[in-house]
Structure 1
Amino acid sequence: MTTLSATMNWQLLAQKALDGERLTMEEALSVLEADNDELLPILQAAFTVRKHYYGKKVKLNMIINAKSGLCPEDCGYCSQSIVSTAPVKKYTLLDKDTLLAGAREAMSRKAGTYCIVAAGKGPTDKELQQVVEAVKEIRDTMPLKICACLGILKDGQAKQLAEAGVHRYNHNLNTSRANYPSITTTHTYDQRVETVEEVKSYGMSPCSGVIIGMGETNQEIVEMAYSLRDLDADSIPINFLNAIPGTPLENAGRTPAMKGLKVLALFRFICPSKEIRVAGGREVNLRTLQPMSLYAANSLFVGDYLTTAGQEVTTDHHIIEDMGFEIEMCAL
């Protein structure tokens, strides 16, 4: 019997995406389940969509781990969670001068977006005020977009961040609704959705993504993409699990590089006009195939992540140049 993926014209999926049509579950699964010999035609089709919306521009983002290792949550993938025994640095929220220094470093790396990330269920009022003060000064002195990732927000906190000048708020769905209880029990999938909807209501750009490699099925990967399409997330970071010793998922295997590239293509087909960002774990999962990710994705993190190392920033700059793409500088 001939499978759908064996007979699929991938450019038809690209045209469907460009026409604003939603892929069927069967079509979406055909991307993930395609033979590896089909990878280049799939990426070519994904590039058709990517080029339509973003040309050959690549957006760069930099993270600062603004508060580390003091999180009461039990997220199984995270080295900073309360259930992790990984030897990570532990410190309270960084002071304003350190956050400002991070912003200057982001500019030196040619990043257009500076991501202030703090471990925890959500910020205290004091922590929020520290972030607000830093954001105001960054906005006054540097041409950077600011993304905050501070957890679940209390009443009034989203309004304060928006008024301070935060452009974007990140709160990842991480996995499918069905898989969520196996990953985290200290908060719910719906709380994450509600947080994204809250920041949207105050005019901040919603950023929400996933982590691939946490025991989800291919159908659940498709459901994640559908969920982010329905949520209308402007920016979608695609993380690949970096299994850290000392975390509950320490023995999870890596995502094969070709599978990872198919995932990126899938998200481009389902969320065609959105910023698709190759995020954490790309170095250890995509390995030598990282350059090919740019045919589907239009955004990268540069430098280190929260508690894991990235690759040399110059390596990413060279990948972009060698692949014939160019860095998109920040335009506020």
Structure 2
Amino acid sequence: MSSIETTTQLQWHEVAQQVLSGNALTREQGLELLQSSDSELLDLLAATFLVRRTYFGRTVQLYYLKNAKSGLCPEDCGYCSQSIVSDAPIEKYTIANERVLMEGAAKAASSQARTYCIVASGRGPTDREVDHVCRVVEKIKADHGLHICACLGLLKPDQAQRLADAGVDRINHNLNTSRRYYEEICTTHTYQDRIDTLEVAQKAGMELCSGLIVGMGETHDDILDTVFELHALNVKSIPVNFLHSIDGTPLEKREDLDPRQCLRILCLLRLVHPATEIRIAGGREVNLRSMQAMGLYAANSIFVSDYLTTKGQSAEDDFSMIEDLGFEVIIGGHEMAS
């Protein structure tokens, strides 16, 4: 082994020990991580796994996502097939009725998912839609006992409180990208609007699920800004989306990522958020490709379902991937440490 390789291995191991001792990863270290060479990747993953294993053992949390309302959105988010500026040929429908949402909950339970995600397109929900979701959530809790994460857009304080009272455990509202870059991706609402909704949800007593999308033309500094902002917000779950460019959207044909950079980004998230649930979310299959399994040395959660308007890997393949790693699905309860 060369002296350069020895130094690299020691460096990332020392960074992991720094994090485990309670000293936060610095921004400078984060930038070095994102710019690290391919020859360092295995050492970086091994060091990151020390942190992941300390807080989550070899367990994996599964999430099941239900697109409860598709299309019909007045916002102009450039990555989204459901936005007003998208020509993508997707299904468009108003909010799903109780039967459809309950069927989704049953599939979530049978897929060993701990959390059922109810997602609705649009700027924000109407009061009628909030009341509908509340009624269904109460029934899901009674019948299946699932954790519920709702993603309904921008929320008013009274709407957030009603959702919390009905048993919604978490609100998902992703930052997506940095404050600096946000207007390049969306102009119909602001970055601050998203922060405001997260604060409203937190005040109502719900946990925060918020993450990012990478591969949209952002810089390393934008990624770092977003990752550290999520830390300041004290989010409990972070979905990491890798852009799956969809024909008909402003970001169609954009392919900035490779599997190795995706793994670096997951390592960054784990080292900045050592005890937080990190989920490999949309774009996993098309960006990590044959290296999907390696992402779980940093992350501890995945979606076991299709995404909003794109297909995911089959549940059977996900179960095989987890088993082949020697990991295990955790059903119910809270995150476990070894």
TM-score, normalised relative to structure 1: 0.97
Paired amino acid for 1:97: R
Determine whether 1:262 maps to 2:264.
Answer: yes
Determine whether 1:106 maps to 2:108.
Answer: yes
In the other structure, the counterpart of 1:164 is: 166
The alpha carbon displacement at 1:301 in A equals 0.5
Q: Distance in 2 between matches of 1:155 and 1:227?
A: 22
Paired amino acid for 1:122: G
Q: Distance in 1 between matches of 2:86 and 2:95?
A: 20
In the other structure, the counterpart of 1:289 is: 291
Paired amino acid for 1:209: G
User: After the TM superposition, which of the residue ranges 33-42 and 23-32 deviates more from structure 2?
Assistant: 23-32
CA displacement, residues 78-130 of structure 1 (integer Å, 9 cap, x when unaligned): 00000000001000000011101100000111100000000000000111111
Q: Distance in 2 between matches of 1:12 and 1:117?
A: 40
CA displacement, residues 126-159 of structure 1 (integer Å, 9 cap, x when unaligned): 1111100100000111121000000001230000
Does structure 1 retain, via aligned residues, the 8 Å contact 2:242–2:282? yes
Q: Distance in 2 between matches of 1:20 and 1:309?
A: 39
Describe how 1:297-308 pairs up with structure 2 within 5 A: 297-308=299-310
In the other structure, the counterpart of 1:202 is: 204
Q: Distance in 2 between matches of 1:254 and 1:322?
A: 29
The alpha carbon displacement at 1:276 in A equals 0.3
Does structure 1 retain, via aligned residues, the 8 Å contact 2:157–2:204? no
Describe how 1:1-332 pairs up with structure 2 within 5 A: 9-331=11-333
CA displacement, residues 278-318 of structure 1 (integer Å, 9 cap, x when unaligned): 00001000000000001000000011000000011100000
Does structure 2 retain, via aligned residues, the 8 Å contact 1:6–1:34? no
CA displacement, residues 221-264 of structure 1 (integer Å, 9 cap, x when unaligned): 11111011111110000000000000000021141000000000
Q: Distance in 2 between matches of 1:205 and 1:13?
A: 29
The alpha carbon displacement at 1:20 in A equals 2.6
The alpha carbon displacement at 1:6 in A equals 5.7
Does structure 1 retain, via aligned residues, the 8 Å contact 2:277–2:300? yes
- Using the aligned pairs only, state the percent identity: 52
Structure 2: runs of 5+ lacking an equivalent: none
TM-score, normalised relative to structure 2: 0.95
Structure 1: runs of 5+ lacking an equivalent: none
Does structure 2 retain, via aligned residues, the 8 Å contact 1:106–1:114? yes
CA displacement, residues 186-230 of structure 1 (integer Å, 9 cap, x when unaligned): 111011111111111111110000001011111211111101111
User: After the TM superposition, which of the residue ranges 47-56 and 194-203 deviates more from structure 2?
Assistant: 194-203
Q: What is the count of residue pairs matched by the alignment?
A: 329
Does structure 2 retain, via aligned residues, the 8 Å contact 1:143–1:331? no
SS at match of 1:156: helix
Q: Distance in 1 between matches of 2:113 and 2:142?
A: 17
SS at match of 2:118: strand
Q: Distance in 2 between matches of 1:115 and 1:7?
A: 39
Q: Distance in 1 between matches of 2:224 and 2:16?
A: 16
The alpha carbon displacement at 1:177 in A equals 0.8
Two-structure CA RMSD over aligned residues (Å): 1.3
Q: Distance in 1 between matches of 2:234 and 2:94?
A: 33
Paired amino acid for 1:173: L
Paired amino acid for 2:191: Y
Paired amino acid for 1:85: D
SS at match of 2:157: coil
Q: 1:15 to 1:7 in 2, by over 3 A?
A: closer
Paired amino acid for 1:159: Q
Q: Distance in 2 between matches of 1:300 and 1:7?
A: 28
Q: Distance in 1 between matches of 2:93 and 2:68?
A: 9
